[in-house]
Chains A and B, each alone.
Chain A
Amino acid sequence: MSDTPFVAVEGLHFSRGDKEIFRGVDMTIQRGGITAIMGPSGSGKTTLLKLIGGQLLPDAGRVLIEGQDVHRQSRKALFSMRQRMGMLFQSGALFSDLSVFENVAFPLRVHTDLPGAMVRDLVLMKLEAVGLRGARTLMPSELSGGMARRVALARAIALDPELILYDEPFVGQDPISMGVLVQLIKRLNQALGLTSIVVSHDIKETLTIADYVYVIADGQVMAHGTPKSLDVDQDPRVSQFVHGEPDGPVPFHYPAVDFVSDMLSPGGPR
């Protein structure tokens, strides 16, 4: 079973306008376990998730989920494929016109014909798992950012998916809710036997839960391996990123002409 990768990304090319975002990305993601995709801001990590979810069309290359090409599916087949995926968005993306309870119930209501009592039980179970059973009557605007993300997580697991994509789950969280989320992701993954893909640039938190890590930069996979092997990686770019050094091969400065000559040319371009 674990020989065939659950998700395979092969030779992925994608560009937005003139800007090349991916120039041949290859990845294999094994079933069960948490795979982290890391990279500096602007390296297209979220775009990669959208490509895996079939929301964007690559210029070249394929994304296979259990051997099926995501981008070769009919609209209907793609939507049914997505029922087996959950995705947690950066902002939570709760439906602002529905209460917490209805948000979590939403996937159940649209994809199943379960009777109301059973929907209620399932929703309360999922909310209990994220510790927000008591907040079910609140509206999304009444939640803090961390709570919203936890509700979104409950919604993402409502249909018991096999794959969950996390888009920057830790960004902008205080240390407590960050710790809560880290624990949740790890626990859910073990308890439900999920396959998780976590996109993040919060190195410390991500490395504590990830089983395998891909580092993307410049549109390519720069390094991959277990968290331990990356920690001692000799590549200066990898070690700069993993250890969070401000300057290094990934420059602190946006490309510019030499500072001194720029300052001394008053009539130059602004």
Chain B
Amino acid sequence: MIQRIRRLGRRGCDLLEAFGRAGIFLAQSAVGLPSREGLYLWVRQMHFVGVLSLAIVLVSGLFIGMVLSLQGYTILVDFGAEDALGQMVALSLLRELAPVVAALLFAGRAGSALTAEIGLMKATEQLTSMEMIGVDPLRRVVAPRLWAGFVSLPLLTVGFGVVGIYGGYLVGVDWLGVFEGSYWSNMQASVDFIDDVGNGIIKSLVFAVVVTWIAVFQGYDLVPTSEGISRATTRTVVYSSLAVLGLDFVLTAVMFGGLA
């Protein structure tokens, strides 16, 4: 029994230690003024992290907007309120689905790739050799990836929202015959730029920091073997999905739930 409690205690200590390491890691790599060279590295990573995730995010956004519109219509039409379709699609996308689903897709597409890439660089001693050349890998390898993630995900989220609203329009207006004017005007009457779009973007910023941080840290901190890499990529997806969903609840409670 005492053994078990002790084991639990050790788990707790390990966990705290990992959090500490991750915090120091973030602080060391995310700060520092970008140089010209750093800017170039950042653009490179923006390409890998952002541009290459664009397709999956946009396609998913289109489908989610279409489904939302279809489901919403069947419910709203019972109340004769199908005019409110635009409002429903836009609010649920902007407040909830765009930040969350884009973050989950981002964790799967870009996060796991980041972990694997950095993990492979660690396993093949590229990070150590960089250190021996006298270049800080936190600055050279980690920082551009972190910042690329921080910037990409909010942009992807905006794209997701736009495409989703368009998808809702396609299904609702073109297919189900909701009056086009009421689709847009109801939306415009109910969506507030600061409260809805702004809060959605704040959410996605938070998710961007968390997901990229987890991904990059898992890559940097893994056991440098092929098994270690595969485990770390799994951990990245699991941890960041959980973190996104959990944080989403907290943020929603604060932003829209009247807390604080």
Q: Which residues of A contact B (CB under 8 A)?
A: 50, 53, 55, 75, 79-80, 82-83, 85-87, 89-91, 93-96, 106-107, 110-111, 152, 155, 159, 165
Contacts and interface: CB of A to CB of B under 8 A. Distances in A.
A90 B125 contact: yes
Contact of B121 (A83, A90, A96, A111): A96
Contacts of A89: 125, 128-129
A93 B125 CA distance: 5
Contacts, number: 55
12 contacts: A79-B135, A79-B136, A82-B133, A82-B134, A83-B134, A90-B125, A93-B126, A93-B129, A95-B126, A96-B126, A110-B135, A165-B132
B133 A110 contact: yes
A158 to B, nearest CB: 9
B174 interface: no
B134 A106 contact: no
Interface in B130-178: 130-136, 140
Nearest to B48: A97
Contacts of B129: 87, 89, 93, 152
B124 A55 contact: no
B128 A106 contact: no
A111 B133 CA distance: 9
Contacts of A155: 133
A50, A53, A55, A110 — which one has the most chain B CB atoms within 10 A of its CB?
A: A110
A53 B132 contact: yes
| Closest 4 pairs (CB-CB, A-B) | A93-B129, A93-B125, A87-B132, A82-B134
A94 B37 CA distance: 20
Contacts of A94: 126
B131 A91 contact: no
B134 A79 contact: yes
B9 to A, nearest CB: 18
Contacts of A83: 133-134
B125 A107 contact: no
B238 to A, nearest CB: 27
A12 to B, nearest CB: 19
Contacts of B135: 79, 106-107, 110
A114 to B, nearest CB: 14
Contact of B128 (A93, A96, A107): A93
A80 B37 CA distance: 19
Contacts of A50: 128
Nearest to B123: A91
A128 B17 CA distance: 48
Interface string B18-62: 000000000000000000010000000000000000000000000
Nearest to A85: B132
B134 A111 contact: yes
Contacts of A95: 121, 126, 130
A186 to B, nearest CB: 22
A106 B258 CA distance: 54
Contacts of A86: 132
B125 A91 contact: yes
Contacts of B120: 96
